Amino acid sequence: MNRRSVTIAAAAAIVLSLTSVAGVRGQASSAPRPPMAEEVFKNIQVLKGIPVDQFLGAMGVIAAATARGCSECHRQDGPADWTRYADDTPMKQVTRQMLLMTQEINRTHFGGRQVITCYSCHRGMHRPKVTPSLVALYSAPPDEPDDIVDPAPGAPPADQIFDTYLAAIGGAVRIAALTSFTGRGTYQAYDEDAVPLEVYARAPNERLSVWHTSFGDYAMGYNGREGWIAASQAERPVPVEFLTGQELDGRRLEAELTFPTRIKQALTAVRVGFPASINDRDAQVVQGTTAGGTLVTLYFDMETGLLTRLMRYTDSPVGRIVTQYDYEDYRPVGGVRIPFKWTRTWLDGRSVFQLTEVQPNVIIPPARFARPAP
């Protein structure tokens, strides 16, 4: 999707109103209470009592399910005029009714469990199909992994797969000796040109990525307690979006895997599934749940032992959000092989991070990972 038509699909329905729901479960944090959606945006008629990041995540689910861009659901003068997103439109009014309908179906027929969502019927189409598709019926089914991995009989233990991975990137002693690094490279999103990228990481779980665009700087960070996305308000509806619940929990895991000495302790209820194919290469599949309740699937190349993909699933009031990272171009840094390239794919698009130079074990001031001002 074009970046200007879907600035962020999570903002595609910024002030679309939904029903009140309980907040998504997640890890506790000592950070100040994040603002609720109705405290930041105008005309929130139904989706109240959830943090801004969960609200924007819900908007991403709706946009992805219906293949709609921001301007298709919202009346606005331009990409940066977020105030116009509060205006009512016929499409927003219908969407409110549809969301009330799905909640009623789930409450009446599934005991309140989230079984029916926007995606159940729309599946990336503006209007749900009524007539069965013979093409889809007789074509090969898409090779998409299920959310839940079934244990595979005879599969190697997860700890054995983790040990192979740790050995492949350098071994426990060398990993423990890598305490920090900084990197430079490029960031590329949507159909735009690549822009300069800076990465800062410090063990055990602090990580910050900053990229510089013509519209201003973007930052994605986690400091061991708090996570955030920051950008100029011309590009995002809020200048700093603090992460909560499972999204914060998932960002913590991503930061911890930068220095994966405790990968065996990162997940519980771990199971090894049937092998999968990632870019035409066989991969071992390990799935588990983080302490905050986030479902995570890891894929390890069966030949090299390296981690090639991470998928995490976040609950939202309107459906499950999936985020995927693909890792490649492993190179040694301070005796430890780390991916110099990773691709982040989520409901709102795809971004490619490419490092060109990395400096290991440098002193990074604590202020670099400080919580940004709202």
57-94: pLDDT as tens digits:
888 888 888 877 767 777 655 555 667 777 778 888 88
Query: Is the model's pLDDT at 352 over the cut of 80?
Result: yes
* Helical residues (DSSP H) of 221-283, grouped into ranges: 245-256
Residue 269: per-residue pLDDT? 94
Condensed to tens digits (0 to 9), the pLDDT of residues 158-193 reads 999 999 999 999 999 999 999 999 999 999 987 788
Residues 273, 50: Cα–Cα separation, whole Å: 34
Q: Are residue 318 and residue 360 in the same domain, yes or no? A: yes
Q: How far apart are the first and last CA of the chain?
A: 29
The answer, as to whether pTM is greater than 0.75, is: yes
The answer to whether residue 71 is domain-embedded is yes
Per DSSP, the three-state class of 273 is strand
Q: Are residue 108 and residue 183 in the same domain, yes or no? A: no
Average pLDDT over residues 275-279: 91
Q: Domain range holding 302?
A: 158-190+244-368
Q: Are residue 103 and residue 61 in the same domain, yes or no? A: yes
Mean pLDDT of the chain: 84
Q: Are residue 265 and residue 329 in the same domain, yes or no? A: yes
Q: Are residue 102 and residue 177 in the same domain, yes or no? A: no
Find out whether 169 and 338 touch, Cβ atoms under 8 Å: yes
Closest CA to 300 of 268, 276, 335, 280: 276
Q: Are residue 306 and residue 336 in the same domain, yes or no? A: yes
| 302 contact partners, CB below 8 Å, separation of at least 6 | 275, 281, 282, 283, 284
Q: Are residue 275 and residue 306 in the same domain, yes or no? A: yes
Average pLDDT over residues 274-292: 93
